[in-house]
């Protein structure tokens, strides 16, 4: 079986930047993802990607993808179901939705990103898709003049609350502490938005509804008082979980589930590099993910030369 130089697992900003750099170096590479573009496709406005102010997430994700295509990157629209290391080669199993096939690679850049963390409270799973959502830019349009709740205190939750405030009548922003984790500028905008009501120091207990979401049961952490909000939609934005199941037996993972790697992307497994949100890092942003993709190609090139 033909062996490619680098299998890039994940087609978000990290993986697509790696594809651009690898294509420029004439490395034989393939980007494996069910649909390349990444989580950023779901973002409303991205206002902090340098030189492209106020671009939409969809435009930015598509621009990464078309840049990689233009440079000649190859794509395989599959999920990676297993990765094994045999000697100094990697064997990958990929699934296209119908059948599984095999791929051999000399090195792997793992840039599979993260998945939405769930609240794990009663009603959440049952009502997902029936009022419970993890993506405001996908689902906000279903709530014109309705009441919705957003749960979380990070950049995603506040950005989702702002997006929803332009469509819904009332937005309740529920956070478990009395200070936000999100950046100061977005916190200020949220505080100045009339139809966003902040509910702080409060945790969600249960989501109820027959066919679709009807109520959100909450508890104030300090007083212990329980209360109910009548809402039509609930947007869960409580962070992300790194998706490492296919490499956790190969590389060292930290206690949060992230692959241990510095900005070179070098992991404890020779030939396996980690890029983007999946790796241990201070700041998970599109710009840092893109930088990781470039760095990983440099590291992979050095590895391939020595190999």
- Kindly write out the interface string for residues 178-197 of this chain, putting x where it contacts ligand NAP by CB under 6 A and - elsewhere: ---x----------------
Nearer to ligand NAP, 177 or 225 (CB): 177
Return the range that interacts with ligand NAP (CB under 6 A); candidates 57-65, 128-136, 209-217, 233-241: 233-241
One of 138, 185, 252, 254 is an active-site residue; which one? 138
**Helix runs in the chain, H state only:** 13-24, 57-70, 136-139, 155-165, 184-191, 286-306
Per CB under 6 A, the list member of 4, 103, 109, 159 interacting with ligand NAP is: 159
- The rounded distance, in Å, linking the Cα atoms of 284 and 172 is 26
The smaller minimum CB distance to ligand NAP, of residues 29 and 202, is found at 202
Give the separation between CA 4 and CA 234, rounded to whole angstroms. Answer: 44
User: Are residues 214 and 208 in contact, defined by beta-carbon separation less than 8 angstroms?
Assistant: yes
Q: Determine if residue 37 is left, alpha or beta; phi over 0 gives left, psi from -120 to 50 gives alpha, anything else beta.
A: left
- Give the strand pairing for 74-76 and 29-32: parallel
| Candidate residues 166, 169, 177, 245; the one interacting with ligand NAP per rule CB under 6 A | 177
Region binding ligand NAP by CB under 6 A among candidate stretches 97-105, 210-218, 224-232, 236-244: 236-244
Is 139 labeled as catalytic in the residue annotation? yes
Tell me the two tokens of residue 281.
């890092």
138 is catalytic: yes
Should residue 176 be labelled a site residue for ligand NAP when binding is judged by CB under 6 A?
A: yes
**CA gap 166, 171 in Å, rounded:** 10
Taking the C-alpha atoms of residue 135 and residue 138, their distance in angstroms, rounded to an integer, is 5
In 141-282 the beta strands, taken as DSSP E runs, fall at 147-151, 170-174, 196-199, 202-208, 215-220, 226-230, 233-236, 240-242, 272-274
Please identify, using beta-carbon distances, which residue of 29 and 156 lies nearer to ligand NAP. Answer: 156
User: Comparing C-alpha atoms, which of 116, 169, 120 is closest to residue 146?
Assistant: 169
At its nearest, how many Å lie between ligand NAP and the CB of residue 197? 17
Question: Which of 119, 132, 147, 229 contacts ligand NAP by CB under 6 A?
Answer: 119
33-72 residues in contact with ligand NAP (CB under 6 A) are 46, 48
For ligand NAP, the closer of residues 46 and 127 by Cβ is 46
Report helix, strand or coil for 206: strand
Smallest gap from Cβ 268 to ligand NAP, in A, equals 24
CA distance 126 to 209: 10
- Residue 292 CB, nearest approach to ligand NAP (Å): 14
The residue nearest ligand NAP at its CB is 154
Pairing between strand 170-174 and 196-199?
parallel
Cα 63 to Cα 16, 124, 144, distances in angstroms:
10, 34, 30
How near is the Cβ of 282 to ligand NAP at its closest, in Å? 9
Q: Of 139, 232, 277, 292, which residue is the catalytic one?
A: 139
First to last CA, the chain: 19
Both tokens of residue 211? 């066919």
For ligand NAP, the binding residue among 131, 154, 233, 293 (CB under 6 A) is: 154
Specify whether 78 is catalytic: no
CB nearer to ligand NAP: pick between 14 and 272: 14
User: Active-site residue numbers?
Assistant: 135, 138-139
Residues binding ligand NAP (CB under 6 A):
46, 48, 119, 151-157, 159, 176-177, 181, 203, 237-240, 284-285
């Amino acid at each position: 079986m033909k062996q490619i130089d680098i299998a890039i697992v994940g087609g978000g900003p990290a993986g697509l930047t790696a594809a651009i750099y690898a294509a420029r170096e004439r490395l034989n590479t393939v980007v494996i993802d069910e649909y390349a573009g990444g989580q950023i496709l779901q973002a409303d406005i991205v206002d902090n990607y340098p030189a492209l102010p106020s671009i939409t997430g969809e435009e930015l994700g598509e621009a990464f993808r078309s840049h990689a295509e233009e440079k000649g990157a190859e794509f395989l629209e599959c999920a990676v179901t297993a990765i094994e290391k045999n000697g100094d080669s990697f064997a990958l199993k990929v699934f296209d939705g119908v059948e599984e096939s095999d791929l051999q690679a000399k090195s792997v850049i793992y840039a599979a990103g993260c998945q939405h963390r769930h609240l794990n409270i009663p009603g959440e799973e049952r009502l997902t898709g029936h009022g419970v959502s993890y993506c405001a830019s996908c689902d906000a349009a279903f709530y014109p003049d309705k009441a919705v709740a957003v749960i979380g205190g990070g950049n995603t939750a506040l950005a989702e609350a702002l997006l929803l405030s332009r469509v819904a009548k009332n937005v309740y922003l529920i956070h478990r502490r009395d200070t936000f984790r999100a950046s100061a500028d977005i916190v200020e905008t949220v505080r100045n938005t009339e139809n966003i009501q902040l509910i702080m120091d409060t945790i969600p207990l249960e989501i109820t509804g027959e066919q679709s979401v009807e109520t959100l049961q909450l508890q104030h952490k300090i007083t212990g008082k329980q209360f109910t909000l009548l809402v039509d939609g609930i947007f869960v934005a409580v962070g992300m979980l790194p998706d490492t199941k296919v490499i956790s037996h190969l590389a060292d993972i930290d206690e949060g589930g992230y692959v241990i790697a510095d900005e070179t992307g070098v992991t404890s497994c020779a030939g396996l590099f980690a890029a983007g949100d999946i790796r241990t890092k201070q700041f998970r942003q599109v710009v840092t993910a893109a930088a990781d993709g470039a760095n990983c190609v440099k590291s992979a090139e050095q590895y391939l030369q020595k190999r």
